[in-house]
Amino acid sequence: MLLTPHDCFSTRLRLLIHNHKPSRPFPGNLLTRTRATRLCKASLITSSDSFEVGRLIGSYGFMNVTSYSGFPSGVDTEYSSGGMGQLRVQDVGEGSVKIRLYEGRVSQGPYRGIPVIFKVYPGQRAGGIEADMMAANELNAHIFLQSSPKELCQNILILLGGFETTTGEQWLAFRNDGKYSAADYTKYASERVLSKAALESTSWNRFEEEEKIKRRRNFVIKLFQGAMKGLAYMHDHDRLHQSLGPSSISLNTIAEREAVYLIPRLRDLAFSVDVRYSYLEEGTGSSLSEGLWRRASAAGAFTPMDKRAFGIADDIYEAGLLFAYLAFLPFCEPGIMDSLSLQRLIENTFQLDIEAIREYCLADDRLLEAVKFLDLGDGAGWELLQDMLNPDFRRRPIAEAVLNHRFMSVKFR
């Protein structure tokens, strides 16, 4: 079964809020069922008795794809081949894995009192084999990334432990370093955008409005920088994210005046892929990554080196879509632009022609602040967006190059 995002701007797990009370977990040990138990097992909390479970705060579901549509006919071969990295979804169905989220805290031991977020995967009876695979993959990814002898990356969520209940549910406990997501921030920012009519009908201070825009630009760039630092760390350690989007980035604040304290952290690594050459050469891998390697083959990536390069470039493409999302939605009134319409504008209407997209947006006053943002540095934002969404995966920059791009250090005037 191929698992994929409902849209390219959301993670493969969509947040849905429900209102029912959590059940008390039973003792068990999720770590015994993973292949990476030798990595940092001693540093993880593996007993349910060491945790206290609080209120239910939400649940996740995922969508599975039944068919696809590619680029329109008539597109030249080179362009079409490069675009295979992101096939459009035609038909999607609701997947069987439902993942619950709870607040909680560590109740004993050296980490006593630390707040946590529990991510609860259903047992095989409720979620099928996919639930076990996703839980094990997410656990292994975090253990691997946290096993580095160097200092941990502050831009990736920290796993504190995990256990399994007698009913087969698998509980992962993450340090609660922020209750917001990048999606929450864009909604919050968009709701505070004043329409042109509102500006004309109310008294407002032009200087204060300009300062607010500068703070917003600074916050968005710092948010994106943090996400790319986390992604660069993952790639440097031979891991792909494969579900990068606004919902997969946790934030400790959404207040633009507190940008100096902002620390974005990547999360949702259930679809993470190991791209160490030894794994690629052996051909070992999870069915969760089958879709990635099918797309790699369609793009002409067959050798381990080419497959690794394609996987990294695929993450960069998703990061490019994230960049577009962050460049537009916080600067537009609610309802003017959403993730799906922006995706269609980029991929379907203008087929990744960023210059044409700019000309289109210039004609709409409601998108003017987003255009101005990407125009900074003599069009540096549009340049970065075009690089990251290049139809040829071989020509996309690596994460470190994105961080060093001139747009990341642009001066606000």
> Band of the pLDDT at 123, cuts 50, 70, 90?
confident
> Band of the pLDDT at 343, cuts 50, 70, 90?
very high
pLDDT of amino acid 411: 76
Does some domain include residue 25? Answer: no
With a cut of 80, say whether residue 29 has pLDDT above it.
no
Give the number of other CB atoms < 10 A from CB of residue 168. Answer: 17
Q: Does 71 or 386 have the greater pLDDT score?
A: 386
Residues 332 and 367 sit within 8 Å (Cβ to Cβ): yes
Number of domains in the chain: 2
Does some domain include residue 5? Answer: no
User: Tokens for 154?
Assistant: 């502050």
Does some domain include residue 76? Answer: no
* 171 and 187, same domain (yes or no): no
- Average pLDDT (208-225) is 94
* 310 and 184, same domain (yes or no): yes
In this predicted model, what pLDDT tens digit does every residue of 263-310 receive, in sequence order?
999 999 999 999 999 989 887 567 889 999 999 999 999 999 999 999
* 170 and 288, same domain (yes or no): no
Query: In this structure, what CATH number is given to the domain that contains residue 106?
Result: 3.30.200.20
* 405 and 311, same domain (yes or no): yes
* 190 and 319, same domain (yes or no): yes
Sequence-separated (6 or more) residues with CB below 8 Å from residue 102: 22, 53, 54, 55, 56, 57, 117, 118, 120
* 350 and 240, same domain (yes or no): yes
* 256 and 398, same domain (yes or no): yes
* 264 and 148, same domain (yes or no): no
The boundaries of the domain holding residue 48 are 43-63+93-175
pLDDT of amino acid 210: 87
Q: How far is CA 1 from the centre of its chain?
A: 21
User: Tokens for 195?
Assistant: 């329409």
pLDDT of amino acid 18: 32
Does some domain include residue 22? Answer: no
By mean pLDDT, which of 13-22, 78-87, 138-147 is the weakest?
A: 13-22
* 147 and 289, same domain (yes or no): no
* 98 and 132, same domain (yes or no): yes
- Average pLDDT (337-362) is 94
* 184 and 170, same domain (yes or no): no
* 228 and 120, same domain (yes or no): no
- What does 318-335 look like in DSSP terms, one character per residue? HHHHHHHHHHHGGGS-TT
In this predicted model, what pLDDT tens digit does every residue of 78-90 receive, in sequence order?
333 333 334 333 3
pLDDT of amino acid 284: 59
